[in-house]
């Protein structure tokens, strides 16, 4: 059996969470509402700041800052997934197919088992992670311009003057490589 290592160093982390079978549920009205409520619920007992976030139909990316001295992001992710699942089901959301293995473990058909985590090393790494979060809808060809995607912290960053409103356009996207507009 594989052993997954989680590094608990630093205060800022980049995460990717993916739905089970890449089901396109996160940008539905119920999905957005359940996620918003789940975040609020988890923050009450396990504080964190959403430094940057983008919600796509089948996954989300987030840059999360934990309070000083805190390093337990796994509990926050587990509780976030659990709260979302409970709220999704209570709202009438349907689960994906569950394998025997998932059924034996008592797992639901909402999220993939694992999540991707990256510890942000420094300011330039933080900038790269935040840019990646914001450009992701363009990368997945969901929009022609980053500003056209409604479920992103990009709009907050524009209001704060961190990005120009026209940052990130389709013509700057080349295959899997994105050349950032300055």
pLDDT of residue 168: 84
Full pLDDT tens readout for the chain, 182 residues: 455 454 555 699 999 999 999 999 999 999 999 999 999 999 999 999 999 999 999 999 999 999 988 889 999 999 999 999 999 999 999 988 888 887 788 778 899 988 999 999 999 999 999 999 999 999 999 999 999 999 999 999 999 999 999 998 765 555 555 554 43
Place of tokens 């197919």: 97
Cα–chain-centroid distance for residue 154? Answer: 13
Q: What is the pTM for the complete model shown?
A: 0.85
Name every residue whose Cβ is closer than 8 Å to that of residue 31 and which is 6 or more positions away in sequence. 25, 88, 93
């Amino acid at each position: 059996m594989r052993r997954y290592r989680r590094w608990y160093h630093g205060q800022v982390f980049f995460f990717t969470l993916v739905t089970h079978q890449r089901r396109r549920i996160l940008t539905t009205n119920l999905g957005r509402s359940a996620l918003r409520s789940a975040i609020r619920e988890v923050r009450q007992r396990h504080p964190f700041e959403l430094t940057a976030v983008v919600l796509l139909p089948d996954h989300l990316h987030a840059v999360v800052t934990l309070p000083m001295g805190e390093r337990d992001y796994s509990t926050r992710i587990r509780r976030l997934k659990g709260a979302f699942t409970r709220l999704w089901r209570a709202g009438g959301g349907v689960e994906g197919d569950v394998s025997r293995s998932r059924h034996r473990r008592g797992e639901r058909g909402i999220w993939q088992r694992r999540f991707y985590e990256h510890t942000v090393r420094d300011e330039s790494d933080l900038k790269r992670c935040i840019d990646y979060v914001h450009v992701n809808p363009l990368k997945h060809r969901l929009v022609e311009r980053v500003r056209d995607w409604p479920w992103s912290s990009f709009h907050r960053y524009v209001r704060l003057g961190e990005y120009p409103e026209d940052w990130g356009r389709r013509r700057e996207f080349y295959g899997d490589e994105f050349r950032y507009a300055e």
